[in-house]
Structure formats: structure tokens, C-alpha cells
């Protein structure tokens, strides 16, 4: 479809007039006809040039209308029935009719009662746009540009009619979404109708009932922002409230009860409760603002169609400088989890403000924990104790984060309430039986989707019993999950690992005063202890530092120092492997901070050689392989990785993603079921796909330093899951990087 036939707009107020103006401006509409009660409005619309013809009654132009012509009803909600009666009398069923009323349930009832059988060409719709101005003179051709229009098709609808209405809105720059009639009215009652009720009522209260006549004199920006919508069309909004009575009343009741609780907290000077409400609200509002900047909120909330962020790296260059990368992701997750389960307050410094760790933070807020921040890496968690979590009101959404889902499943298995864990598209494909099965052996009842994929439905109230579990794979997430469940189980929970994996959970439990026993390759916890709030200083993430370590290791002339990096022995596989490859790498200023070893890491360029990566280093460098394979591509000879099948079930299949990308950049490589063989060579320029995996995206970015042409990396939005300022730091150290968003 590239053109529209005739469009008739009934009602030339702001909503109708703006659509008319936009359609005229598009030039893709055969004829725009306006219908307005008053002669003057018709004349004004003609004078403004927003319609080709204007009449005072639809019957005057009904004779010109036929198949594929569209009538848009843009009158207040409670006037729609009157217009429907007029249309029924003079317009045939072949003409498409749509509307813009803010409530869909009432229009649906009107259509059904007036027409009897629902007309297949009647498409219910609602443009989410407006302004506090009204009347034809306020018509604005850009009103719908980048705004959402919700269509609420019904089963009786003709698909072509829905398509035509969608096309009309897209033509004027709107983004069209579809949802059910009832869902629409509930959502709009909460996010639009309730705010209008509150704004009208607040201004009326102050203006009318306040004791102080001069009250508005002292009102500043906050009042103005908050009450802008109280200047909207009063009658139109009255009708909306009446038309959507049930959902609006539900929204008001919920709000009133929460307001009552807040009132009580203020009366009782309960600072923690007030902090809880305000911090949750601030976080939600900040997130909403961010969503609006990036895309339509309905889409981003489900994280399904984020914008495509493309990195383009110019070839060559060196990296130099002294930088501190953000806080460790694994430790950040655990600091929130254990801080929440502790008694008393936990003060965290160096928290990673990336999407993954924020997902964990949000999950605990959703379970009633009051958390202040993050503010420049500082977070304060008001712990609720091991049994103080509250049932969340809906599923806990943890985005891209496997660590959140797996560790949380252990904690949730021990709660008295039911819960559900959901994630984004990538996480929804990752294996969860590795935690669901052993948790099941402990007595937990956990439902998964097919083949053990998320969502996880965890039944509360199970009596967990401690088990002895020999992990079939070397996984810190599985180990941590079971130890956390073990806090709630009867008897000892003991986990053995086939090879050492990161031990942050064990260290941090001890930091919170909870006993953990290690014997050889086994770790165990017993129930009955408690965690006591503490201070946590999170070191910089060695996994993030890796990208700059490899960057310096592959580009001649480079010299970089990464400060305050966590060098826990269970995380330094990357250092060991790079050294084996001949990297000039040294640790300086080694010290211990809050139970974790920390150092500054200096890397100066030196030629690298290919190696057989020792299998015992694989779990200690599991997240670093994408970057290490870039080092392998720049090394002389073959690098062989084996025993790394776990890489196939990370955020993406990292073996395949790296093999595909390296091949695109002219590097010979061969993937095997449990690893990869890379033959060092000359990286060329080219396009690579990150498959939405943050570490794949960052690895190919640093590859640009040794490439002969520009490298374009596709789908890099998820870099923000682990390394929100990667681009800024990359530019700072000398990588020539350009970011575009599509």
C-alpha cells in the first residue's frame, strides 16, 4: 500500500484536525474531507489548508464514499454513539471506519448495540497523543510523529481494514501497536486516566479548598510540571472517566490505599518506608525516561525489539592510559542478594550500574527490599533478613542476566511465596535445568518451559533438604544457586565442582558472617545462621578489563594500566593465558579489599604466539574467551581451545559467534564441539554480527586495532548489560569508534 483513497475526519478538534493536517502534508491521500458541526470550524479548516473539503454533516459526502475509503471519528468518547447512528444511516459496509476515542470498551458496546452485528470494517483505535490545547486552530501536522497509536482489533474484523488503518497512521509518522480492548482500558486507566484524576483534583484542592488565597504565587516548576495536564479539555476528560468507570475506579482505589500507607509512614516517621517508596519510584521514572528516549515503551518493556546499535571501528591505532573499568558484575549481583537477605544495612561502593546488576537490584525492590541508589556506584541496602522477602506482585523480569535468574532461583526456592522468573529473548533460550534439577532434588517445586528453558515458576512453601551434589559442569552459578538454597534447607548442602569456579558467593557469605566450609573441591553450608549487614567495596571487573588488556596486547606501541581490578585466583585465567601467549603483563600494587584480592594491571605490547590453552584455565577465564580469541587471531601460529563446551550456552553460542565473525574478517578458524582452533593471521575489515551478546560486540570492537579496514559490529545494545561506559573508555584510550543507532 502506498496511497490512501479518501479520508473523512469527523470532528475537527485537535485530534481530528491534526490528522487532517498531517495527511494533507503527506501528499499520499486522494482527498481529505472534514466534518464539523459548526460552519465556522469548516471555514477555518479550509482557510488553514488542512482539508480539501469541509461539510457540516456526514450525509452530505456519504455518496462519494466507497471501498477502501476511511472515516475517522474524532469526537469525545460519549459523543461517538451519536455519530455512529448518523453513519449507519448513510454509509455502506464497504467503507472502513475507525475512531480515536480514549476508551475502547465503551465504543465497542456502542458499535455492537447500534449495528447489531459487529461490522467487519470497523477498527477500534486510539492515538496516544494530545496536548492541553484544543480546537481546530491547535491542529499540528507533527502531533503523531513518533507517537504511538494503539489499535484494538476484534475477532470479527476484516484483516485488510486493520491493515489500511495501520497504514494511515504510519503515513503520518506514528508507531502502531495492537492490544486487546480490555487490556487497553486497564493500561490507560492506570497510566493516563488516573494521572488526570489526580492532577485535576490536586489543582482544584489547592485553588478551591486551600486556606491560603495566594497559594499559586509560591508554586514553582515542580507544581507546573506535575499539573500540566489539569489544563486539558475538562469535558472530554469527564467523559473519559465515565466511559472507563470500572478501570478508573480500580486504579483510584489502588492509588488511595498506597497513598494511605505513605501517609502513615510520614506520620510514624518511618524513614525506611518512605525511602522505599521514593527510591522505587525514582528508579522506575528514570527507567521510563530512558525507555522513551530509545523506543516505544511497550516494546522496550518486553525488550524484544531494541534499537540496533552499530559500532564502527576505524582500523589501526594504539591504546594508552590509566583507567578504571566499572565494578565486577558477579560481585555486584551477590552484594544486592546477600545485602537484602542480611539483617541491618549494607553499604556498597563500586557497584556496577549495568543492566544485569540493575535487574537483580530491581528484583529485590520488587520483593519489598528498600534499596537506595545506585548513585555513582554507591548503594545502600536495608536488609530484611533471610525470611523477610515479600511476594512480588508479578513475574520478576531479569532481562539478559543468567546470573540473576540462576542465583535467584536458589533463593526463591526457599521462600514461602510462589514466584516467576522471566528474561529477554536470549535468556529465554538458555538452559535452566542445571539449577531446576538439583533444586528439585532438594525438594523445590520448579516449573520450566520446554527443555528446561525460562520462565521458571517456583512454588513457595517447599521444605528444602540439604543434598550432596556433584556438579556435572564447572559452574559458579549452579554452585551459588545451591548454596543459597542451602541457607533455607534442613541439614547440610554440599556441592563439589569438577574444576575450580569463581568463589565470590563463598567469600561474601563469610563477609556477612555466615559460615561456609571448603574441603578440597567441595563447598558446604548449613542452615540456621544469619547474615549481618556489612560494607562492600567492589573491585573493577576483570572481565571488562580484559577488553583493554587484549587491546594493548595486540596493538604495537600500546601501554595501558587498569586500576583496582579484582584478581581473585578463580578469575585470573585471562592473565595466565595471555602470559602463556607471550603478553607483557604485570600486576602492581597488589592488595586485599573487602575480602577480594585487587591489583593494577599493566599491559604493554609484545608479539603474541598461539598456544594450546590449558583446560584447567578454561573455567577461570570462561567469560574472557571472546576477547582471547581476538588475541589468538593476532598471534603467530595456532591457538587451540578445548574443554570449553560451556561457551556454547552463554548469552549466545560464543564458539560459533566468534568463528563466524573471525571468518568474516579473514581469519582461518575451525570450531569443534568443545572449543575452537584459530590460526593467527591478518584481520581485514568487514561486517560482523554480535548476536546481541555484549562480550562478542566488545571483542570485535578491539579487533579493529589490528585490522586493515573498518570493522562494523551489529547489534551492540547489550554492551550496557555489563559495561555501560565501554564506548567512552574505548575512545579515551585511543580506539577510533563511531556509534550509530538504527
Which sequence positions are flagged as catalytic?
A: 623
- The edge-to-edge listing of strands for the beta sheet with 396-397 is 396-397, 419-422, 453-459, 445-449
For 597-621, give one letter per residue: b (16+ CB within 10 A) or e: bbbbbbbbbbebbbbebeeebbbbb
Is residue 718 within the footprint of ligand S3P (CB under 6 A)?
A: no
Q: Coil, strand or helix: which one is 135?
A: coil
Q: How far is CA 577 from the centre of its chain?
A: 34
Instruction: Rule CB under 6 A: choose which of 476, 523, 632, 657 binds ligand S3P.
Output: 476
Question: From residue 314 to residue 353, what is the string marking binding to ligand S3P with x (rule CB under 6 A)?
Answer: ----------------x-----------------------
Instruction: Rule CB under 6 A: choose which of 150, 495, 622, 717 binds ligand S3P.
Output: 622
**Within positions 633 to 692, which residues make up the interface with ligand S3P, using CB under 6 A?**
646
> Over 512-566, what HEC string results?
CCCCCEEECCEEEECCCCCCECCEEECCECHHHHHHHHHHHHHCCCCEEEEEEEE
CB of 696 to ligand S3P, least distance (A): 13
Nearer to ligand S3P, 319 or 337 (CB): 337
CB of 264 to ligand S3P, least distance (A): 39
Nearer to ligand S3P, 503 or 600 (CB): 503
Which span (33-41, 242-250, 361-369, 470-478) binds ligand S3P, by CB under 6 A?
Answer: 470-478
Q: Coil, strand or helix: which one is 651?
A: coil
Residue in 588, 530, 532, 535 with CA at minimum distance from that of residue 564: 588
Instruction: Rule CB under 6 A: choose which of 44, 335, 403, 409 binds ligand S3P.
Output: 403
Dist CA 666 CA 212 (whole Å): 76
CB of 732 to ligand S3P, least distance (A): 25
Question: From residue 274 to residue 313, what is the string marking binding to ligand S3P with x (rule CB under 6 A)?
Answer: ----------------------------------------
Dist CA 82 CA 73 (whole Å): 11
Question: From residue 32 to residue 61, what is the string marking binding to ligand S3P with x (rule CB under 6 A)?
Answer: ------------------------------
Which span (21-29, 469-477, 528-536, 631-639) binds ligand S3P, by CB under 6 A?
Answer: 469-477
- The edge-to-edge listing of strands for the beta sheet with 148-151 is 125-128, 148-151, 175-178
Is residue 544 within the footprint of ligand S3P (CB under 6 A)?
A: no
**Within positions 494 to 523, which residues make up the interface with ligand S3P, using CB under 6 A?**
502
Is residue 475 within the footprint of ligand S3P (CB under 6 A)?
A: yes
State the helix-helix crossing angle for 194-204 and 234-243, rounded to 10 degrees: 130
CB of 200 to ligand S3P, least distance (A): 49
Nearer to ligand S3P, 54 or 495 (CB): 495
CB of 623 to ligand S3P, least distance (A): 5
Give 418-442 as a DSSP string. -EEEE--TTGGGS--HHHHHHHHHT
- The cell numbers describing 315, all together, are 582500523
Dist CA 651 CA 619 (whole Å): 16
The phi, psi pair for 539, rounded to 5°, reads: -75, 170
Dist CA 7 CA 31 (whole Å): 6
Query: How many residues are given for the chain?
Result: 742
Nearer to ligand S3P, 77 or 401 (CB): 401
Nearer to ligand S3P, 303 or 330 (CB): 330
Which span (224-232, 454-462, 474-482, 532-540) binds ligand S3P, by CB under 6 A?
Answer: 474-482
| Residue 713 contacts residue 311 (beta carbons within 8 Å) | yes
CB of 299 to ligand S3P, least distance (A): 27
Dist CA 107 CA 91 (whole Å): 18
- Cis bond leading into 323, ω under 30°? no
CB of 356 to ligand S3P, least distance (A): 9
Which span (472-480, 546-554, 559-567, 671-679) binds ligand S3P, by CB under 6 A?
Answer: 472-480
| Residue 136 contacts residue 45 (beta carbons within 8 Å) | yes
Nearer to ligand S3P, 330 or 699 (CB): 330
Nearer to ligand S3P, 403 or 715 (CB): 403
Is residue 568 within the footprint of ligand S3P (CB under 6 A)?
A: no
Residue in 298, 296, 255 with CA at minimum distance from that of residue 277: 255
Question: How many residues line the site for ligand S3P (CB under 6 A)?
Answer: 10
Is residue 110 within the footprint of ligand S3P (CB under 6 A)?
A: no
User: Beta strands 711-714 and 453-459: pairing type?
Assistant: unpaired
Which span (360-368, 455-463, 475-483, 560-568) binds ligand S3P, by CB under 6 A?
Answer: 475-483
Going from the C-alpha of 658 to that of each of 295, 691, 709, the distances in angstroms are 29, 10, 18
CB of 406 to ligand S3P, least distance (A): 7
CB of 343 to ligand S3P, least distance (A): 24
| Residue 735 contacts residue 301 (beta carbons within 8 Å) | no
Give 214-278 as a DSSP string. TGGGG--HHHHHHHGGGGS-HHHHHHHHHHTHHHHHHHHHHHHHHHHHHHHHHHTT-HHHHHHHH
Nearer to ligand S3P, 331 or 599 (CB): 331
CB of 606 to ligand S3P, least distance (A): 28
Is residue 99 within the footprint of ligand S3P (CB under 6 A)?
A: no
Is residue 477 within the footprint of ligand S3P (CB under 6 A)?
A: yes
Is residue 699 within the footprint of ligand S3P (CB under 6 A)?
A: no
CB of 564 to ligand S3P, least distance (A): 19
Nearer to ligand S3P, 480 or 699 (CB): 480
Triad 666, 669, 675: Cα angle to 5°: 145
CB of 342 to ligand S3P, least distance (A): 19
Which span (60-68, 476-484, 596-604, 654-662) binds ligand S3P, by CB under 6 A?
Answer: 476-484
R_g of the chain, CA atoms, integer Å? 30
Instruction: Rule CB under 6 A: choose which of 185, 366, 623, 624 binds ligand S3P.
Output: 623
Nearer to ligand S3P, 184 or 654 (CB): 654
Dist CA 371 CA 277 (whole Å): 10
Nearer to ligand S3P, 273 or 646 (CB): 646
Is residue 247 within the footprint of ligand S3P (CB under 6 A)?
A: no
Name the helix (H) or strand (E) containing 496. strand 493-496
Is residue 480 within the footprint of ligand S3P (CB under 6 A)?
A: yes
- The cell numbers describing 169, all together, are 497512521
Nearer to ligand S3P, 153 or 619 (CB): 619
Residues of this chain that interact with ligand S3P (CB under 6 A) are 330, 403, 475-477, 480, 502, 622-623, 646
Amino acid at each position: 500500500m502506498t496511497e490512501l483513497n479518501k479520508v473523512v475526519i469527523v470532528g475537527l478538534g485537535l485530534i481530528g484536525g491534526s490528522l487532517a493536517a498531517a495527511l494533507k502534508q503527506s501528499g499520499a491521500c486522494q482527498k481529505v474531507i472534514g466534518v464539523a458541526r459548526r460552519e465556522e470550524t469548516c471555514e477555518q479548516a479550509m482557510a488553514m489548508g488542512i482539508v480539501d473539503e469541509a461539510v457540516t454533516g456526514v450525509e452530505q459526502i456519504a455518496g462519494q464514499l466507497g471501498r477502501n475509503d476511511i472515516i475517522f471519528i474524532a469526537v469525545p468518547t460519549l459523543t461517538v454513539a451519536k455519530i455512529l447512528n448518523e453513519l449507519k444511516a448513510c454509509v455502506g459496509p464497504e467503507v472502513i471506519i475507525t475512531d480515536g476515542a480514549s476508551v475502547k470498551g465503551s465504543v465497542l458496546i456502542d458499535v455492537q448495540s447500534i449495528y447489531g452485528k459487529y461490522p467487519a470494517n470497523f477498527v477500534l483505535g486510539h492515538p496516544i497523543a494530545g496536548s492541553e490545547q484544543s480546537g481546530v486552530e491547535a491542529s499540528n501536522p507533527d502531533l503523531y510523529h513518533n507517537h504511538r497509536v494503539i489499535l484494538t482489533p476484534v475477532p470479527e474484523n476484516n484483516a485488510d481494514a486493520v491493515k489500511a488503518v495501520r497504514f494511515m497512521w504510519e503515513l503520518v509518522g506514528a508507531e502502531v501497536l495492537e492490544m486487546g480492548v480490555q487490556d487497553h482500558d486497564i493500561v490507560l486507566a492506570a497510566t493516563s486516566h488516573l494521572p488526570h484524576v489526580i492532577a485535576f483534583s490536586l489543582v482544584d484542592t489547592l485553588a478551591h479548598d486551600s486556606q491560603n488565597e495566594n497559594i499559586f504565587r509560591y508554586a514553582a516548576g515542580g507544581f507546573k510540571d506535575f499539573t500540566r495536564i489539569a489544563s486539558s479539555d475538562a469535558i472530554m476528560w469527564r467523559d473519559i472517566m465515565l466511559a472507563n468507570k470500572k478501570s478508573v475506579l480500580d486504579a483510584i482505589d489502588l492509588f488511595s490505599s498506597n497513598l494511605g500507607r505513605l501517609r502513615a509512614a510520614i506520620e510514624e516517621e518511618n524513614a525506611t518506608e518512605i525511602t522505599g517508596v521514593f527510591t522505587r519510584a525514582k528508579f522506575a521514572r528514570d527507567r521510563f525516561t530512558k525507555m522513551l528516549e530509545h523506543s516505544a515503551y511497550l516494546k522496550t518493556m518486553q525488550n524484544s525489539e531494541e534499537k540496533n546499535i552499530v559500532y564502527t571501528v576505524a582500523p589501526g591505532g594504539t591504546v594508552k592510559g590509566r583507567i578504571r573499568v566499572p565494578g565486577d558484575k558477579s560481585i555486584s549481583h551477590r552484594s544486592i542478594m546477600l545485602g537484602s537477605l542480611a539483617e541491618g544495612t549494607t553499604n556498597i561502593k563500586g557497584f556496577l550500574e549495568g543492566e544485569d546488576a540493575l535487574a537483580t537490584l530491581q528484583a529485590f525492590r520488587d520483593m519489598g527490599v528498600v534499596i537506595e541508589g545506585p548513585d555513582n556506584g554507591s548503594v545502600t541496602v536495608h536488609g530484611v533478613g533471610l525470611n523477610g522477602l515479600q511476594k512480588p506482585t508479578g513475574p520478576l523480569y531479569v532481562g539478559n542476566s543468567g546470573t540473576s535468574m540462576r542465583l535467584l532461583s536458589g533463593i526463591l526456592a526457599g521462600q514461602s511465596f510462589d514466584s516467576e522468573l522471566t528474561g529477554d529473548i536470549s535468556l529465554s533460550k538458555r538452559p535452566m535445568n542445571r539449577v531446576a534439577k538439583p533444586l528439585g532434588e532438594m525438594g523445590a517445586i520448579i516449573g520450566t518451559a520446554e527443555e528446561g528453558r525460562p520462565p521458571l515458576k517456583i512454588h513457595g512453601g517447599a521444605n528444602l533438604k540439604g543434598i550432596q551434589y556433584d556438579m556435572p559442569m564447572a559452574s559458579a552459578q549452579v554452585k551459588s544457586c545451591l548454596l543459597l538454597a542451602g541457607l533455607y534447607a534442613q541439614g547440610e548442602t554440599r556441592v563439589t565442582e569438577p574444576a575450580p569456579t569463581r568463589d565470590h558467593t563463598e567469600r561474601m557469605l563469610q563477609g556477612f558472617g555466615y559460615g561456609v566450609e571448603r574441603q578440597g573441591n567441595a563447598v558446604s553450608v548449613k542452615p540456621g545462621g544469619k547474615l549481618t549487614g556489612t560494607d562492600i567495596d567492589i573491585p573493577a571487573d576483570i572481565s571488562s578489563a580484559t577488553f583493554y588488556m587484549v587491546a594493548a596486547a595486540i596493538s604495537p606501541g600500546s601501554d595501558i594500566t587498569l586500576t583496582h581490578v579484582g584478581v581473585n585466583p578463580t578469575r585470573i585465567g585471562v592473565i595466565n593465558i595471555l602470559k602463556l601467549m607471550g603478553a607483557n603483563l604485570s600486576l602492581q600494587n597488589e592488595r586485599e579489599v573487602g575480602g577480594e584480592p585487587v591489583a593494577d594491571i599493566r599491559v604493554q605490547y609484545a608479539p603474541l604466539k598461539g598456544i594450546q590453552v590449558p583446560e584447567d584455565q578454561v573455567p577461570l577465564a570462561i567469560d574472557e574467551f571472546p576477547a582471547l580469541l581476538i588475541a589468538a587471531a593476532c598471534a603467530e601460529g595456532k591457538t587451540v581451545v578445548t574443554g570449553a563446551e560451556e561457551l556454547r550456552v552463554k548469552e549466545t553460542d560464543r564458539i560459533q559467534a566468534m568463528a563466524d565473525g573471525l571468518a568474516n574478517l579473514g581469519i582461518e578458524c575451525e570450531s569443534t564441539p568443545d572449543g575452537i582452533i584459530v590460526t593467527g593471521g591478518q584481520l581485514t575489515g568487514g561486517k560482523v554480527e554480535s548476536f546481541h551478546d555484549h562480550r562478542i560486540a566488545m571483542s570485535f570492537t578491539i579487533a579493529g586495532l589490528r585490522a586493515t579496514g573498518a570493522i562494523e559490529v551489529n547489534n551492540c545494545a547489550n554492551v550496557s548489560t555489563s559495561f555501560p561506559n565501554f564506548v567512552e573508555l574505548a575512545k579515551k584510550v585511543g580506539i577510533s569508534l563511531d556509534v550509530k543507532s538504527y
